[in-house]
Amino acid sequence: MLIVSYQLSAVLLTASFCLSAVLFYCYGIYAAIAFRRFSYPVNPEFHPPLTILKPLCGLDAETYTNLASFCQQYYPQYQIVFGVRDFIDPCIEIIEKLIQQFPNVDISLVVNDEIMGTNLKVSNLANAFTTAKHDILVIADSDIRVDKNYLQQIIQPLRDPGVGVVTCLYRSLAQGWVARLDAIGTATDFHAGVLVSNQLEGIKFALGSTIVIRQQVLEKIGGFEAIADYLADDFQLGHLSAQAGYQVLLSNYIVDHVLDTSSLKDTIKRQIRWARCIRVSRPWGYLGLVFTYGTVFSLLLLITSGGSIFAWTTLVITWGMRLVMAWVVGVKVLHDPVAKKFLWLIPFRDLLHFFIWCYSFFGSTIEWRKQRMKLTHEGKLVV
């Protein structure tokens, strides 16, 4: 009798998690549709001068093509500042080539090894910022690629003086099954969470794919010094700006993210690093992810119920809604090429990510650029 009672409790518990996941998927679909329908109209007369800051370290996949896309903008006045720490960095050769090929673009190279904090990317940004000429800054990671209308579109929300930060979603260009497994999770799970947050309360953070920020906002939150020791520097730029009373908006422009090929081991290490980073940055939100793992709990329900018709029905509904949300977010909103072809990878990715989610609660050590560091409960890096 006691065994039956435990089994019933397990069935009810796993079924409730499946229900919460289905509700999340439904709301994710609604949030994605709402985001897709809303757009910021482009005013061709609004084009304030701006500075693009590009922190670089080594070469990414297709570095030249990625960086060149920022030099081909349909925008009247902008500056690009590339920040590098080492004079022997191989990316310098590419930057010099860009300077020669785009003489009409204001391009600067800053090589400076001065360190501000434990996050060397932020030191790069701070060093590059010293030569910025304009009051509006655009920060984008080195593996981001854009089209020629990028600047004109992402700048539009700043017509509202209350907007302090603009950020962008991204779609991944990936080769190899490991990179595709990574990309499918970003497109159909991570971005679904961003869209849900955006619909519920507006986002209070930024993404490294693109951050547009006013200099006055940056100064008010304490400059780059305020985020110099944080792993999630992009998150903090948006988070601190929101705390300072400025609005953070999600642009309708979707950038391309060029994923390097990597081994499964390296991908898992990176996923663990970002899982622990999100855990300390948004602890309650990260804990709440347990209610979104419908793929996993529907399988557990199937096991605990002994393969009942109810469990099979729940599994079909749960997986169906998961795939519908993935299709709406990944295909219809992001136009993600990986999501279009590889939706069938989602169950495998969800299972892997659930184990990473569980593992992330044990320990605070991460590996970044072949260096082991620890994360404090505030999200700061300690060497």
Percentages (nearest 5) of helix, strand, coil residues in the chain: 55, 15, 30
> What's CA 307's distance to the chain center, in Å?
38
Q: Distance between terminal CA atoms of the chain?
A: 54
The pLDDT tens digits for 97-141 are: 999 999 999 999 999 989 988 999 999 999 999 999 999 999 999
Report the pLDDT value the prediction gives residue 316, as an integer from 0 to 100: 96
Report the pLDDT value the prediction gives residue 40, as an integer from 0 to 100: 83
Phi and psi angles of residue 251, each rounded to the nearest 5 degrees, phi first: -70, 155
| Strands, sheet with 163-173, edge to edge from the N-terminal-most edge strand | 106-111, 78-84, 50-55, 136-139, 211-214, 163-173, 247-258, 144-145
* Cα→Cα distances 129→52, 190, 227, 359, Å: 9, 30, 14, 38
The pLDDT tens digits for 192-248 are: 999 999 999 899 999 999 999 999 999 999 999 999 999 889 999 999 999 999 999
Asked if residues 337 and 258 have their Cβ atoms less than 8 Å apart, the reply is no
Q: What is the pTM of this model?
A: 0.92
Within a 10 A sphere around the Cβ of 132, how many other Cβ atoms?
18
The pLDDT tens digits for 150-207 are: 999 999 999 999 999 999 999 998 888 888 888 999 999 999 999 999 999 899 999 9
Report the pLDDT value the prediction gives residue 6, as an integer from 0 to 100: 61
Type of residue at 69: S
Instruction: Name the band, by pLDDT with cuts 50, 70 and 90, for residue 5.
Output: low
For residue 45, count CB atoms less than 10 angstroms from its CB and return exposed for 0-12, middle for 13-18, buried for 19 or more: exposed
Instruction: Name the band, by pLDDT with cuts 50, 70 and 90, for residue 56.
Output: very high
Report the pLDDT value the prediction gives residue 191, as an integer from 0 to 100: 96
For residue 235, count CB atoms less than 10 angstroms from its CB and return exposed for 0-12, middle for 13-18, buried for 19 or more: buried
- Determine the Cα–Cα distance for residues 98 and 7; give it in Å rounded to an integer: 65
For 230, the 3-state DSSP assignment is strand
